[in-house]
Amino acid sequence: MQDTARLVLSLLDLTSLDDTDTDEDIQRLCRRANTKGGHPAAVCVLTHLVAQARTALANLDLQDTVRVATVVNFPEGDQSADEVVDQIRAALTSGADEIDLVFPYRALMSGDERLGYHLVSRCRQASSGHVLKVILETGELKSSELIRTAAEIALAAGADFLKTSTGKVAVNATPEAAAVMMETIRDSGRPVGFKAAGGIRTTEQAAVYLDLGREILGEQWLRPERFRFGASGLLDDLLQRLGSGVRPVDLRSRY
């Protein structure tokens, strides 16, 4: 299980998306990314805290190792395209590397397929040169048919990753939804990534998604450029499996 934990750690987007997050919380999150067992792929924070995350990682000498991701149209997925594009531009100006965009899933549930395509296309243009992950909110879509439709729309509009969930609804990542998303990626013939997010707290739970990835997409997908986990509590379990902890770096003099 140590090998699995080490792999999952390298695929992790270490996440904190609470409305109450402060600068100190983000500094703490970034310090958690500085582990003896390796580093996560990214930290994921709210848009107005991107600059703080970028500074904290630089002070840890992790600015070239750990990416900064943020969320837009979050968490409801119901903002206008102009509003979301403005959020993306602000995030990129602050130093974001990756954008996690909530798909307008309620519009799709009401029968509107055009809105999702329009929004993802606009956001693809606004985030050109940066990774765009599209959050389908599969626990709300529920049916395999709607999940597949949302995935196909996001792929057609230029998504780099398909992501399961915001982590803010009753049902988040499930293996069943993940399988539908991975099959849609496979059938597209494009090198699009997959991200499982919400409710994944143990190495064993993460391993279920790795096994699905191997079966549906292939071993070559299990790298940060193609496969991610979005979680916060998962890190503690990974480090316990690895017998590691956070590096004891005293940063008080740097802030």
Residues identified as active-site: 100, 163, 195
The total number of residues written for the chain in this structure: 255
Measured distance between the N- and C-terminal CA atoms of the chain, rounded to whole angstroms: 37
For residue 38, the 8-state DSSP code is B
Element (H, E) at 128: none
- The Cα diameter of the chain in Å comes to 55
Task: Give the span between the Cα atoms of 157 and 72, in whole angstroms.
Answer: 17
Helix, strand, coil share of the chain (percent; to 5)? 50, 15, 35
Are 178 and 212 a contacting pair, CB within 8 Å? Answer: yes
For residue 165, the 8-state DSSP code is -
Are 116 and 154 a contacting pair, CB within 8 Å? Answer: yes
**Burial of 215 by CB count in 10 Å (0-12 exposed, 13-18 middle, 19+ buried)?**
exposed
